[in-house]
Amino acid sequence: MANQKLKVGFVGWRGMVGSVLLDRMRSEGDFDQFETVFFSTSQAGLEAPGESCEKTLWDAYDFEALKKMDIVLTCQGGDYTKKIHSDLRGNGWKGIWLDAASTLRMQENSCLVLDPLNKGLIKDEIHKGTVDFVGANCTVSLLLMALTGPLKAGLIDWVTTHTYQAASGAGAKNMKELLKQMGYLYNEGGKKELIEDSRSDILKLDELVNLDLQGKTQYPKELFGAPLAGSLIPWIDSPMENGQTREEWKAMVEANKILGLNQDENIAIDGTCVRIGAMRSHSQALTIKLKDGLDLKSFEELTANAHEWVDFVPNTKEATLEKLHPAHYSGTLKIGVGRLRPMNLGKEFVNVFTVGDQLLWGAAEPLRRFLRLYQEVTV
Ligand code: HSE
């Protein structure tokens, strides 16, 4: 295959994750490295983007077209994967399926990709002939990116992570609904005048806001099903039998799969996943139980120096207010790690707060880096 460019079929490039991925691939010059064909579930035959090696969009339901690809890269979502993947395999296609959706993540013969953590494992899987590669859940990837140093050093016994997940994780329409909620709280029901009047009665204002939040006005919440702006929602995804939400369940199973740990070596991870009124970046408050007591300075050094993307934020008010929040990291590949301190719980316990862009390291970046890694290993 020397010097031959791999043929990549890109499905779902218009959605939120797909668009971010497209941008990243453009900035990193990835399209020069591959022959890319753009597929569409609804607009086959229309003009393809400039990076396409074909003039038109190909049909994302056409098996013969998909079978021409060395790699199918999909950000189209789980329904597409369910509809196409096994039939395409049944049709004899042995190419690489690279997916952002969760459908195939926990299948025995799939590999989760997060190369700063598991490059060796990914390479082994490629050599073994594994053909299904999947990006992990956003909070899982962001958590592991934040704790790469201590995880690789084998220091962590368990982690509790309570998340503060942005509206973007629920989709583009939900981001708009959050903004509509914000607008409603300010503008409607005579509140604007009260907000702007420095002498107005705060209890009167609070009462009006409560009418919105308690569903007694037209405050919009069709998509979230509950108020987010001015409130929060401690539930993400569907229920599991053990009382966790699926989002909470994913943390431990996916993290251990990425790390290639078998059941005896599993790191326990659990906590409550919460949707908050941030736009794009997810945050997590961590309680980390170390296997043995470790001085905080060593933990900090291991964490801060793990890789180029960790942005270590000193545990001061100034540094935290300057940087350690979703607004600062949105649109960047940096993972903010701060509020590092000992805890009253005992010498093996460490407190950390971490923030990262859920569309970049949380979704698009591991996929585009897999493409490069696969090319490096096989071409
Ligand atoms: N499940 C995540 C969320 C999206 O709802 O925030 C990122 O995988």
Q: If you search the block for the tokens 């401690």, which residue do you land on?
A: 234
Determine the atom of ligand 1 nearest the C-alpha atom of 247. 1
Residue 94, token pair as written in the block? 């042995």
Write the residue with the smallest CA distance to atom 6 of ligand 1. Answer: 169
Write the residue with the smallest CA distance to atom 4 of ligand 1. Answer: 169
pLDDT of residue 379: 86
Ligand 1 centroid distance, CA of 319 (Å): 27
CA distances from 113 to 134, 169, 195, 287 (A): 6, 19, 48, 25
pLDDT of residue 227: 98
Neighbours of 193 (CB within 10 A): 9
Q: If you search the block for the tokens 């993540």, which residue do you land on?
A: 105
φ, ψ dihedrals at 332, nearest 5°: -120, 160
CA distances from 119 to 126, 275, 361 (A): 11, 31, 15
CA distances from 159 to 156, 255, 335, 344, 351 (A): 8, 11, 18, 16, 10
CA-derived radius of gyration, the chain: 23
Helix (H), strand (E), coil (C) string for 286-317: EEEEECCCCCHHHHHHHHHCCCCCEEECCCCH
H helix or E strand, kind and range, residue 246:
helix 246-259
The CA distance from 164 to 279, in Å, is: 11
Regions in the chain scoring below 50 on pLDDT: 1-2
The CA distance from 370 to 288, in Å, is: 29
Determine the atom of ligand 1 nearest the C-alpha atom of 170. 5
pTM of the model: 0.96
pLDDT of residue 3: 62
Report how far Cα 149 is from the mean position of its chain's Cα atoms: 20
Ligand 1 pocket test, pick from 102, 224, 236 with the greatest ligand atom count within 8 Å of Cβ, gives 236
Ligand 1 centroid distance, CA of 342 (Å): 30
pLDDT of residue 4: 82
Pocket of ligand 1 (CB under 6 A): 137-138, 165, 169-170, 236, 247, 358, 362
The CA distance from 165 to 142, in Å, is: 11
Write the residue with the smallest CA distance to atom 7 of ligand 1. Answer: 138
pLDDT of residue 36: 98
pLDDT of residue 92: 95
The CA distance from 346 to 270, in Å, is: 19
Neighbours of 172 (CB within 10 A): 12
Check if the beta carbon of residue 73 is closer than 8 Å to that of residue 22.
Answer: no
pLDDT of residue 184: 98
pLDDT of residue 295: 86
The CA distance from 369 to 347, in Å, is: 38
Q: Which residues are catalytic?
A: 138, 282
Ligand 1 pocket test, pick from 165, 228, 365 with the greatest ligand atom count within 8 Å of Cβ, gives 165
φ, ψ dihedrals at 319, nearest 5°: -65, -40
